[in-house]
Structure 1
Amino acid sequence: MWLAVLLVFPLLVSGHMIEVSAGKKECFFEDLHVNDKMTVTYQVGGGGHLDIDFWLADPGNTALAKHIKQSQGTAAITAKKDGRYEYCFSNHMSTVIDKMVSFNVHGVIYVDDEDIVSPIEREIRTLSHGLASVKDEQEYIVVRERTHRNTAESSNDRVKWWSILQVLVLFAVVAWQVYYLKSFFEVKRAF
């Protein structure tokens, strides 16, 4: 029974983590048929100002979605024609810093409603959509946690080194004061 349901309503999900080099772009593609649905969600997890350019184009190279300097985003389309749909992440705005991008691609292969026999299959479809959005949210939280942890560790290192510098300066000032006061109280003899 479950195998039949999976064959009737395939939901394709894939998640990726890529590094987009400075001044470069990374492109991917999906082959879709009319009425197939595809959703791309992404988030920049590291590098620079945590922003990236994103666009999604149809087989005729017409832009269906375009995000400029965004740290996260979602693009959802329904295919109007058969062919290869391309989506790209561009780091052309940066000349030095690489960016880490986490993204998920969800695709739903269109199945005519006449092929859906029972209400239980509709419920499975609804649950499948719900699970996909929970997975997206969970991956978003993991990337945010990583970003916040890196920020906290960086702040911790700066506080540690600033404290060490203050201790060294304190000891230097104490040593100078002891030397200065000692020389102030020394008796100088003239021969």
Structure 2
Amino acid sequence: IIDNNKQFWQYCKTTTPVQGLSAATCVALVLHIYLLCETYLLQTNHKTAMIKRKGCIDFCLLGFFLYLLGSMSFVEAVEFTFDLADGAEDCFYEEIKHNTSAYLEFQVSAGGQLDVDVTLKNPKGDIIYEQQKATFDSHQFVADISGVYQACFSNKFSTFSHKFVYVDFQVGEEPALPGVDEHATVLTQMETSSQSIHKSLNDILDAQTHHRLREAQGRKRAEELNERVMWWSCAETAAVLTIGIIQILVLRNFFTDRKPNQRYSRL
């Protein structure tokens, strides 16, 4: 039984959840193999069963851990937020193969007038996308040549304000769900529902990201407005107190009696 299932582990340990079998499928097959082993071992003597049972458990655990290691080494996209200093320019690089689609999205969440210069260049140095003082935008393209593409964000026009910029850089199309491409016929209702749920979850993740950016942007504006109102209120309070003290001193001077010699000395 173990020999007949070795080819499964050779496939499972070299694939990822988006390329082949999902984690739940691998776990289910591990349990299935183990139950088959137990059924076979029940027909043997006790001493031989103990040795073979230990080997079966070790084999199942080894295959499952190999699958987990393989599933950690697959990355499709990068999504991050960075601090762009005033008068600075930061560039990011991504290797893209020929005829591979890519998607770049950015948004300035805080800082100054919420604007930044964006330039996207191919490996030859040709500009394929450019925006001047943009707050947010997205661009999708297909790589005409293989190589390292460069995305630069510039804040050189700003002297005092630094910016917080959100970037989402995706390369390649999202692979189909595990096992979907293996069918030559139409999809079943379960597979269609799974694809619909998968797409809806991706849309929810994108919506959550954009709502977090809007929330951070609104919170930053509210904090800046609160700080301005506080300092303006402090200045008004200080001005009112100063004017009140001056008025009291002036009125007090009006009702203060002077000595006769002080009056004649002025005359």
Is residue 57 from structure 1 mapped to residue 127 from structure 2 by the alignment?
no
Higher helix share: 2
2:34 paired residue number: none
Contact 1:11 1:128 in 2 (8 A): no
1:88 corresponds in structure 2 to: 152
| Greater per-residue strand proportion | 1
Q: Choose the corresponding residue for 1:7, options 6, 13, 19.
A: 19
Q: Counterparts of 1:121 and 1:108 in 2: how far apart (Å)?
A: 23
Identity %: 24
> How far 1:60 sits from its partner (Å)?
3.0
User: Structure 1 regions of 5+ residues with no counterpart?
Assistant: none
Shift of residue 15 of structure 1? 0.9
SS of match in other structure, 1:44:
strand
RMSD (Å), alpha carbons: 3.2
Residues 140-179 of structure 1: pairs in structure 2 closer than 5 A: 140-179=210-249
Q: Which residue of 2 is the match for residue 43 of structure 1? A: 107
Give the greater-gyration-radius structure (CA): 2
Counterpart residue type for residue 69 of structure 1: K
Structure 2 portions without partners, runs of 5+: 1-11, 21-73, 262-267
User: Are the structure 2 counterparts of residues 108 and 47 from structure 1 closer, same or farther at C-alpha, using a change threshold of 3 Å?
Assistant: same
Distance 2:92 2:175 in 1: 25
Does structure 2 retain, via aligned residues, the 8 Å contact 1:39–1:74? yes
Q: CA deviation at 1:133?
A: 4.3
Contact 2:18 2:175 in 1 (8 A): no
> In structure 2, the residue corresponding to 1:157 is in which secondary structure?
helix
Deviation of 1:84 (Å): 2.3
Q: Cα distance, 1:39 vs. partner?
A: 0.8
TM-score (norm 1): 0.77
Which aligned pairs between 1:6-25 and structure 2 lie closer than 5 A?
6-7=18-19, 12-25=76-89
Q: Summarize the Cα distance change of 1:43–1:175 in structure 2 as closer, same or farther, 3 Å threshold.
A: same
Q: CA deviation at 1:110?
A: 7.6
TM-score under structure 2 normalisation? 0.58
